Amino acid sequence: MKDNPKLVVIGGGFGGIELIKKLRNKPFDIILVDRNNHHTFQPLLYQVASCGLADVSITSPFRRIFKGYRNFRFRMADVTKIEPGAKKISTNIGDIPYDILVIATGSTSNFYGNDNLKKHSLSLKTVTDALTIRNTLLREFEEAITRMHIDEKKILLNFVIIGAGSTGVEIAGSLAEFKKHIAPYDYPELDPGLMNIHLIEAADRVLPMMSKISSEKADEYLTRMGVKVWLNTRVEDYDGLNVVLTDGTILKSVAFIWSAGVKGEVIEGVKPDSIYRKSRYIVNQFNQVTGYDDIYALGDVAAMISEKRPDGHPLLALPAIQQGHNLARNLIRLQRGESPKPFIYSDLGIMSTVGRNKAVAELRFGRFHGFVAWFMWMFVHLIRLIGFRNRLAILFDWIWNYFTYEYSFRIITQPFRKEKCRDCE
């Protein structure tokens, strides 16, 4: 491998994984750098958070994914800086040189500069986040049992979700199903009606990236499930207890989940004029970062701006996967002395699930809702999972949960991180 170009990939998300797969045993010395030792299937994080799936079912160790790759190495590290002049990256385990650098760091939660929201919110971007939400959910119920006053119980069981995109809608729906199918049997001392779920959205409808018909159907599902949907409403502040809305309303909650926005996770070292809105790298149609011949960016962190897409591609898994595939083919072409081919996004559609037998899907061949959309959603997510074992485990859990209404992973696995409710003392 020492005579082959050294290809360093930062980030083992959808884009990075697809790139490496397509370069298996090709003439590149590939080094994957990630702060975790595993890939996470993020679309199912909300089911881990709501006790429906085990965290190990949606994660795959990189060394297992790429077992048998003769041109692959992995380094678990945090990348602190890119040094294009020296053609190396700085990490907490030392410098790593490169001939070609691919940045596929994905995205992180965007709190729009509000430090209080960042400090006190629960987010859902990693397995750790999902487990924290799960622990919060279960501990709130355990603590509510010990409280004497109804108002104290209501605060502990008041769940506020910010952002009604796919993540927010899915979390709200899963919590509503927990309230209906789990709470009455696991916590008979508590009135399930004390649990309230608020979904707050700044736009005039839920799932604003979908058609109005799909949005209205999702809103109808959520309302029937008991979720209180707030539209045309923004959050002004949150101090760990008081959720202050822009219309002056104050909701009291110690379970505040932020899903209102994400931004690309950029790394220091690249020229400022190569970064779009301080959160994504500006790339050309070959995913090459502007101003650099040997640096590429994929997925959420790449802004491929065009007249058709003035803000780049949506921050979803599918564009990252397709970009990783195209870049792999282009790197092989370049090594052969051939011209690269531009990236053309194939939009296969979008779907979101609300709960059991309730989903909306807008695909190339039609628009669906209800059981059909829900079944299609499950099928698509199963085939995109990495590893046969994970697919089998999740399929079994889904079948078990469907027929028994029994979410199996109702265990508290770490200390409660949130401050105690100040009004509950």
pLDDT at residue 278 greater than cutoff 60:
yes
From residue 71, give the alpha-carbon distance in Å to each of 7, 145, 146, 256, 273.
Answer: 10, 56, 57, 44, 34
Query: Which of the four CATH numbers 3.50.50.60, 3.40.50.880, 1.10.101.10, 3.40.50.300 does domain 6-35+77-109+262-335 have?
Result: 3.50.50.60
Q: Which of 201, 194, 237 shows the shortest CA–CA distance to 222?
A: 201
Give me the DSSP letters along 247-271: TS-EEE-SEEEE-S-EEE---TTS-
Cα–Cα distance, 21 to 321 (Å, whole number): 11
pLDDT in tens, 115-127: 999 999 999 999 9
User: What pLDDT was estimated at residue 218?
Assistant: 97
CB-based contact 167:155 (threshold 8 Å): no
How many C-beta atoms lie closer than 10 Å to residue 219's C-beta?
Answer: 21
Structural contact between residues 421 and 240, judged by C-beta atoms closer than 8 angstroms = no
Write down the residue that tokens 């702060």 correspond to: 35
* C-alpha to C-alpha distance for 149 and 292, rounded to whole angstroms: 62
Output the CA–CA distances (angstroms, integers) from residue 248 to 30, 87, 113, 158, in the order listed. Answer: 54, 52, 21, 18
| pLDDT band at 159; cut points 50, 70, 90 | very high
The pairing of beta strand 228-230 with beta strand 275-276: unpaired
Tell me what the pLDDT averaged over the chain comes to: 93
Is pLDDT of 419 > 70?
A: no
Same CATH topology for 6-35+77-109+262-335 and 115-260+349-424: the answer is: yes
Q: Hey, where are the domains in the chain?
A: 6-35+77-109+262-335, 115-260+349-424
Helices (H) and strands (E) in the chain, counts: 12, 25
Mean pLDDT, to the nearest integer, of 172-194? 94
Q: Is residue 166 over pLDDT 50? A: yes
Give tens-digit pLDDT for 64-75.
Answer: 999 999 999 999
Q: Name which residue leads in pLDDT, 345 or 261.
A: 345
CATH class of this structure's domain 115-260+349-424: alpha beta
